[in-house]
Amino acid sequence: MGVAFDLANEFELDTSAPPGVTVEGEGADELPQTNANLVVRTMTYVAGMLTGGLPAFGLHCRNAIPLQHGLGSSASAVVAGVLLADRLLDAELTPDRLLEIAVDSEGHADNVAACLRGGLILAHHGDDGWRAERLQPHADLRPVLLIPLHERVSTKDARRVLPRTIPIGDAAFTASRAALAVVALTRNPSLLATALEDRLHQPYRLPLMPSARALFHDLKDDGIPVCVAGSGPTLLAFEQDGRTVQDLGPGWRVMRPAFDLKGATVREAGTAADGEQPQRQGAQ
């Protein structure tokens, strides 16, 4: 299960610009500004599946999603790469095929499905491959993202701490909460505190993020529904009447985002001469 908020990265591709990659915003001093950039690597992967090559282009990334905070920054890059390659090569891939390629590239179906489709998403795999069902979040939901400024958790570390086997009781407990979460997020938000309980990953990952762990338990004690966003360290809480998140001080970034019900979009900028296709394309 994944959910899309209106916190987005933007990517602009220009086939008339000098080849190269530039990055501004989150990760500007960390992310590669070469062909090793994840957007470019994904585009190259898609092109290899379709035609074998890409035209030269310049890529500019405007990043608003913090890195290594469980908010889907890598999913955003992969989805952008898939959509830009699809548009640049006039492949016209179906939505399900776009999803399958994005999952193959990123590895987390819930992340890329939410990024592609928007809203509340249930991703599932069957005989026909990866598919996703989109649900409408309840209108009364008031999500809050609590982002610690001085803590990060890499995907590698988040996976490393998970046990290889789990008690069947913990599996049954969490499966029941996952089913209840669908009801809580779409029909009855009063069930959220129970629905967000988990025994599969939060007890193992919270020790990696001491500040987030302390806040997590404080919020639960105050009756505020809360869970770890992705692999953390960001927390996702839901405010309710009489229960709101108080000021957390300078070490935290607090966001109250709206749900993104559209998903990723591609738009073309400018009009080329003689009826040719525009030269600049952007993904968000």
33-73 pLDDT per residue, tens? 999 999 999 999 999 999 878 999 999 999 999 999 999 99
Average pLDDT, the chain: 92
Say yes or no to pLDDT of 282 above 80.
no
Residue 117 class from Cβ within 10 Å (0-12 exposed, 13-18 middle, 19+ buried)?
buried
CATH 3.30.230.10 range(s) for the chain read 2-136+261-283
The Cα 116–Cα 107 span in angstroms is 14
Determine the pLDDT at residue 155.
82
Give the tens place of pLDDT for each residue, 218-233: 999 999 999 999 999 9
Q: What is the mean pLDDT of residues 197-201?
A: 96
pTM for the model stands at 0.90
Say yes or no to pLDDT of 277 above 80.
no
Q: What is the mean pLDDT of residues 17-35?
A: 95
Q: Which residue, 2, 63, 4, 24, is CA-closest to 258?
A: 4
Give the tens place of pLDDT for each residue, 222-261: 999 999 999 999 999 999 988 999 889 999 999 999 999 9
Determine the pLDDT at residue 247.
87
Architecture in CATH for domain 143-255: 2-Layer Sandwich (3.30)
Q: What is the mean pLDDT of residues 20-44?
A: 96
Q: Give the pLDDT band of residue 18 (cuts 50, 70, 90).
A: very high
The Cα 179–Cα 192 span in angstroms is 12
Determine the pLDDT at residue 276.
39
Q: Contact 69/147 with Cβ under 8 angstroms?
A: yes
Would you say the C-alpha torsion 284, 43, 108, 97 has a positive or negative sign? Answer: positive
Q: What is the mean pLDDT of residues 194-217?
A: 96
Count of helices and strands (H, E) across the chain? 9, 12
Architecture in CATH for domain 2-136+261-283: 2-Layer Sandwich (3.30)
Q: How many CA atoms lie within 13 A of 72 on its CB side?
A: 27
CATH 3.30.70.890 range(s) for the chain read 143-255
The string over 6-25, giving b where at least 16 C-beta atoms fall within 10 Å of a residue's C-beta and e elsewhere, is: ebbbbbbbbbebeeebebee
